[in-house]
Amino acid sequence: RNKTSACRGGEAARHAPRGTSGRRAPAGRASTAKIAATPIKLEMAEGAEMVPMTPREEPGTTVAKAEAMAKAGPKTGKKKSLSQKLLRQMSSRQGPETRKVRVGGYDPTHSKDNVVTTSKFTWWNFLPLALMAEFRRMANLYFLCVAILMLLAEETGWYNTPYPSVWTVGVLAFLISISVLNAGLTDLKRHRADAKMNATPVTVVSRDHATKLRHIRPGDVVVVHRGETAPVDFVVLAGAGEAATCYIDTAAIDGETSLKLRRAAPLTQPWQDPKGETDDAQAIEGSTQFKGEVECDLPNEHVNAFTGSITPDGESVKALGKEHVILRGSEVHSLWVVGVCVYAGFETKLAKNMREAPIKFSQLDRIANSAVIVILCFQFALSFASAAGMSGFERANDKDLWYTGLKSSIDAHSSVSAKWADLEPRDRQDLGFGFLTFVIMYCFFVPMSLYVTFDLAKISQMKYIDWDAEMVHPVDGVDVHAKARSLSVTDLGQVKYIFSDKTGTLTRNEMKLRRVVVRGKCYGLGEKHDEVCAADYGEKDDPLSCKALYDLAQEKGKTDSEAWCALKMVESFMLCNTVIVEQPEEDDDKVHYQAESPDEGALVEGGKMCGYTLSARTQKELVGSVGPPHSPAVTTKYEILATNEFDNDRKRMSIVLRDLQTKKIVFFCKGADSSMLERADPASIERSGDFTKTIDAYAVTGLRTLVYSANEWSEKQWSEWNSKHYEPASTSLQGREEKLRAAADVAERNLDVIGATAIEDRLQEGVPETIATLAAAEIRLWVLTGDKRETAIEIARSCRLIVEDMPVDVLASDVAEQTLVADLCQLYAREVTRDQYTKAQKGLAPFSLKLKRYAKQCVYGKDKALTPEELEEAIENELVKRLGPDARVNLDPPRAGRSALVLDGGAVRVLFAAGPALEVILFRLLAQYKAVLACRVTPKQKAQFVKLVQTHIKPKPVTLAIGDGANDVNMIMQAQVGVGICGLEGRQAVNAADFAIGQFRFLLRLLLVHGRWAYRRSATLILFSFYKNAVMAYCLFFYSTSTGFSGTSVYQSHFTSAYNIYLAAQIFWLGMFDRDADEGWILSHPRCYDSGRLNLDLSLKAVLAWQVNAVLHGIVIYYVGYGAMRHGRGGVYDSGSLGIFGTTLMIVIAVSMNFKAFVSSRTINNVTGGCGEEGGLGPLGFMASHKVVLFLNLAFFFGMSWYASTPACAEDTTAADMMEYWGVTHHTFAAGHTWLVALLVFGTWLFVDWVALACKWNFNATAVDALVERSHIARWTLDPSTKPFFFSKVAHVLPAEAQRVAPTEKVGRESAE
């Protein structure tokens, strides 16, 4: 159960009101904890999160239940089913299956304290775990191996090391230390937050003294006051509310901000005053003296389930349910509450659901790791070539290498041994050891600072999102800023698929009751009681006013008459709900409602508009006021006999009431039309006229519809149902939830339909334009919603997901299963042509392993994995079986690339359960459609859509999930990029997401502007980091060809070790400030996004192109310099000496690479660009200028080079170590030929680089390159002062060229690729 709980989202349709269409599934993370000593505030620490789960799931499967599951046998496959495995585990498990807690006592087998920690590390495992995390990065592991090779060479002498190990080890240790220190400081904050939380003072009355939170144990009786947070999971013994009740909110647990009612255990004790007059002291005294025992489930993670009982000493057993328990993290809104702790510490449900956030490696991180492998291949090839060259040189010059100590050469020269007695003989260098020597020599091929620079650049890009003033949205008078919470910011520039919720994400989630249908007549609700609304939703005539509905209800006709239906309809608004009524404050005479969903609140507000106001709610009574607004009202009271709460299987809620004025018993029920009409009395539907056509018409306009029924029960009918079904179920200790659902199922039969409602949920601002722009960028949007199909389709049309001329294909569950499967196969045969089929078949190579791993997770109950061949055969057989032997013939022209597919949750459930062949057919088909709309899907199915798209579509696309509620958390966590919207349904989606925004329209800037810039900046940063090191390595390789591959280096060790530092700022600025096009141009030309979506900037082709460029530039830099300086006279400081030549070469490389980074920047910031209010950086804004950074980089390089050869450096080392480079830099800088050669080499390099760039632009430019170039032309046209001086000759063509590209122009995919 624990293994599969993470994929069990709530089954509720996420948009319906409590008791109508859905209930939220608890999931997601809570926000960062900052816990004050008083009052108690407990929240989950940063980085922790809630595991999604089914809200109705029973905690702790019993052996009897497991036996019943096992008897049914496995659903598919030959392996043992989950129930059989569970039974075997439980049969062998030792110990009790329930927990017994003595009130005021303590069992040593229970939790010994209430300590909860969220930290990752302890003092003894911090270093190993932190280092292990760092060396999972390939470059870090590579340099660790290189450092070991250097140390081994220095200690053994088996092979040579060109550089001292101290430089590599020191720099690597410094870079690793930065990351390890950051991880340690972050975890230290968690330790301190944990310590502060666990030291919070609380009152434990069973011990008769105040104590700290950490000391609470199961059995302790605790007191929690208003505004405090429950410190443990406890059973309520007494509350300050009427009938010993209290109100709480569970926003920190499941994201639901509405108030919930909790009742005291049914003890019938005198201190549990049913009139609500018991004070704090009496309750504490009574709870302290109470003796009894609580028996409940073992600790588990199911926050919406609790089964137990309480047995007072000498009395019978009393049943307990979830309404009697307050969980840790819940905030108390009543004056006080007293309870007995049953779970403490890590046994609490909140702690059971805490886990570390999933580690999401960005797509660019994976590509960077792949690029490291490619670069290492280059390095190893170069090392092997050098080792082979060294071996060949020694073999060819065997007799002349006596000065190197070669034994065979010394033997050939007898005088050498006598003249050079201290010359140590050596054997010929082994090819393998030579390879290791050159691996060390070319170790800088991979930049050591790559990851640090990359991460710092991503942090700066995250800050740009946080600071974006265009992404600020006011909510309740508070400005909500966009927030980046993950380093996967570069994935925003590579998204191919977006999975979006509808309600609260595309729509406002601000529900308004707009239409009421009674006996075929439509009544409209406006802003006033007597307002006549216009025909806004496709009606032919204006609807009647709600005053007319109120007047009709007052006629009080006989049962089943129109007046009776109108009366029961408005009474349903007032009575058939679970809304909590907040009484008005002294300075406010308005009643406030706490509804568990926005649409249920809209229904109660609609009833108030119609003259039927819910005034008060108690545990056993509802109080209403009947009368038009602002008029004298008549008070009515109803006794609550039974409430059947909503669940996803029934999609209904119902309530049984006794009218205390007439003593009649009435049964109200409401729910989704699909679930109500199938249980309705056909005669009542006929009496309603064109009832179904009316609600379908409203659904087509985008309104959310609900159907209502009302039946009057006799005393006998009520007594029989209550005694046989409801009362036994409500007091049952085992399977209570299932029995209550069965009791509701018996009551909800032969329903008399009285009418329907239509609720409006308007689109958010800018949603149609955002979706249209995303579609123009070739980003596919899938909308996953719990609404009915007609409503979802209409919303999709209004937000331009489905455009006017777009064909729509439908796969619905309202047909037979065989027909549904045949429809799927027909679409597959039409859309997947023979060529596409062949491509898909080639893409299945790694599918077997993924399918096997997926099957082990029991996502669909499959236990058998198929090989690619078996899977293809199964697909072929399925098509032949459904369509005949010509299944793959293209019967009709394919249209999926320009059409939409609509399917519902029932169809998805059927197709998933039909086997892996149909599963693959479905998702191959989905990949072809431009838009996909899934309706009536559960939170679990939302996450499955994301997972299966990632599994089946090759290559694996970058997916983004966006939502606003707790039931979107599964989907958000599954996608590579999760985006949460700050809405009306709590902060669970925001807390679980990588990025948070205030409105859906901000997604456009998040992807096309920030994501695209982050991708292009990071791609250039990575490529340039490899390029600059490759140039130095290739120059060293060419130098080795002139030295017989001796393994010596032309560079001084300070240069190779500090090379990345000399260029760090320039590269970092490239990753921070580079912008190839203005944001306005990007938003008006969405195909600019192709650069990231198609991975044009960091593809294998791009990596190889930069490496070829590095080879070319290495040849130019080395051989031009070598040719110019080879004719020196051989003096110590002559131009031909090694020191002078190496230093000159270093100067050329450093200057060239700095200028290469400068010219690679697509935007050059001026010196004053970041200053002032407009620049935003204040007086230090000049530091944002590329020109300033270029100057500082070169100044730092020349300064360090000067210092490296000064005598002062010799104070830290021996004179022998410094002798070879002593004063070399001084003479090199003073020599005129140095700068002439440097200028010659740099000029030649610059000419070659610009020629290569011109060739790329003229012969290998992409469509994105063309769009970017046109953006520059347009900018120069609008502001001629920004135009380059050499562009003035063609100024006359700029206006026409600038106007040539329309804002909606689309560039073909083929040209972009």
- What pLDDT band is residue 257 in, cutting at 50, 70 and 90? low
The pLDDT assigned to 375 comes to 85
Nearest residue to 687 (alpha-carbon basis) of 840, 521, 935: 521
- What pLDDT band is residue 585 in, cutting at 50, 70 and 90? low
Summarize the confidence of residues 751-758 as an average pLDDT: 91
Q: Is the pLDDT of residue 485 over 50?
A: yes
Nearest residue to 807 (alpha-carbon basis) of 818, 793, 788, 795: 793
The pLDDT assigned to 983 comes to 61
Q: Is 94 exposed, middle or buried (0-12, 13-18, 19+ CB in 10 A)?
A: exposed
The pLDDT assigned to 1032 comes to 87
- What pLDDT band is residue 746 in, cutting at 50, 70 and 90? very high
**Angle formed by the axes of helices 1012-1042 and 1100-1125, nearest 10°:** 40
Distance in angstroms (rounded) separating the CA atoms of residues 266 and 288: 17
Helices vs strands, H then E, count in the chain: 50, 38
Residue 955, preceding peptide bond in cis (omega within 30° of 0): yes
- What pLDDT band is residue 599 in, cutting at 50, 70 and 90? confident
The pLDDT assigned to 360 comes to 61
Q: Is 1129 exposed, middle or buried (0-12, 13-18, 19+ CB in 10 A)?
A: exposed
The pLDDT assigned to 573 comes to 92
984 vs 511, more confident: 511
The pLDDT assigned to 96 comes to 61
Angle (nearest 5°) at CA 322 between 316 and 327: 115
**Predicted confidence (pLDDT) per residue in 500-532, tens digit:** 987 778 877 677 888 999 988 899 888 777 777
**Predicted confidence (pLDDT) per residue in 123-146, tens digit:** 888 888 888 877 777 777 888 888
Contact assessment for residue 450 and residue 394, using Cβ atoms and an 8 Å cutoff: no
Please report which helix (H) or strand (E) contains residue 1272, including its range.
helix 1263-1278
Nearest residue to 1021 (alpha-carbon basis) of 377, 495, 496, 489: 489
Minimum mean pLDDT range among 756-765, 908-917, 1006-1015 = 908-917
- What pLDDT band is residue 987 in, cutting at 50, 70 and 90? low
Average pLDDT over all residues of the chain: 75
Tokens coding 1103? 């990596």
**Predicted confidence (pLDDT) per residue in 626-640, tens digit:** 988 777 789 999 999
DSSP E strands, 313-438: 318-320, 325-326, 331-332, 336-343, 355-356
Q: Is the pLDDT of residue 77 over 50?
A: no
The pLDDT assigned to 649 comes to 67
Distance in angstroms (rounded) separating the CA atoms of residues 567 and 551: 9
DSSP structure string for 195-255: HHHHT-EEEEGGGTEEEEGGG--TT-EEEEETT-B-SSEEEEEEESSTTSEEEEE-HHHHS
The pLDDT assigned to 1129 comes to 52
The pLDDT assigned to 30 comes to 33
**Predicted confidence (pLDDT) per residue in 1116-1158, tens digit:** 888 888 888 776 555 555 555 777 888 888 888 888 888 888 8
* CA distance to 139, 400, 443, 446, 1045, per residue, from 1040 (Å): 25, 18, 15, 19, 5
Summarize the confidence of residues 951-957 as an average pLDDT: 78
The pLDDT assigned to 1196 comes to 85
Summarize the confidence of residues 217-228 as an average pLDDT: 90
**Predicted confidence (pLDDT) per residue in 666-719, tens digit:** 999 998 887 888 888 888 888 877 778 888 888 877 788 899 999 999 999 999
Contact assessment for residue 782 and residue 930, using Cβ atoms and an 8 Å cutoff: no
Q: Is the pLDDT of residue 276 over 60?
A: no
Nearest residue to 795 (alpha-carbon basis) of 773, 766, 757, 762: 762
Q: What b/e sequence results for 27-36 when a residue is b if at least 16 CB atoms lie within 10 Å of its CB, and e otherwise?
A: bbbbeebebe
- Report residue 864: phi and psi, to 5°: -115, 130
Summarize the confidence of residues 419-447 as an average pLDDT: 77
- What pLDDT band is residue 744 in, cutting at 50, 70 and 90? very high
Summarize the confidence of residues 1198-1204 as an average pLDDT: 82
DSSP structure string for 123-150: TTTHHHHHHHHHTTSHHHHHHHHHHHHH
Contact assessment for residue 758 and residue 991, using Cβ atoms and an 8 Å cutoff: no
Contact assessment for residue 936 and residue 842, using Cβ atoms and an 8 Å cutoff: no
The pLDDT assigned to 1127 comes to 62
Q: Is the pLDDT of residue 664 over 80?
A: yes
The pLDDT assigned to 1131 comes to 52
Residue 846, preceding peptide bond in cis (omega within 30° of 0): no
984 vs 103, more confident: 103
DSSP E strands, 472-529: 473-475, 478-480, 483-484, 495-500, 512-518, 521-524
Contact assessment for residue 758 and residue 602, using Cβ atoms and an 8 Å cutoff: no
67 vs 1215, more confident: 1215
245-249 β-sheet, strand order: 260-263, 245-249, 331-332
Minimum mean pLDDT range among 43-52, 900-909, 1073-1082 = 43-52
Q: Is the pLDDT of residue 578 over 80?
A: yes
Distance in angstroms (rounded) separating the CA atoms of residues 167 and 1029: 16
Tokens coding 996? 């948070």
- Amino acid letter, 1047: G
The pLDDT assigned to 379 comes to 86
Distance in angstroms (rounded) separating the CA atoms of residues 751 and 676: 8
Angle (nearest 5°) at CA 469 between 465 and 475: 100
Percent of the chain with pLDDT over 70: 76
The pLDDT assigned to 1133 comes to 54
17 vs 650, more confident: 650
Percent of the chain with pLDDT over 90: 12
Q: Is the pLDDT of residue 612 over 70?
A: yes
Distance in angstroms (rounded) separating the CA atoms of residues 946 and 930: 16
Distance in angstroms (rounded) separating the CA atoms of residues 314 and 311: 8
The pLDDT assigned to 37 comes to 30
The pLDDT assigned to 1128 comes to 56
Q: Is the pLDDT of residue 1294 over 90?
A: no
The 8-class DSSP code of residue 542 comes to P
Q: How far is CA 958 from the centre of its chain?
A: 12
The pLDDT assigned to 743 comes to 92
The pLDDT assigned to 33 comes to 30
**Predicted confidence (pLDDT) per residue in 368-411, tens digit:** 778 888 888 888 888 899 888 888 888 887 777 777 767 777 77
User: What is the three-class DSSP state of 959?
Assistant: strand
The pLDDT assigned to 2 comes to 36
Q: What pTM value is reported for the model?
A: 0.69
- Report residue 197: phi and psi, to 5°: -65, -45
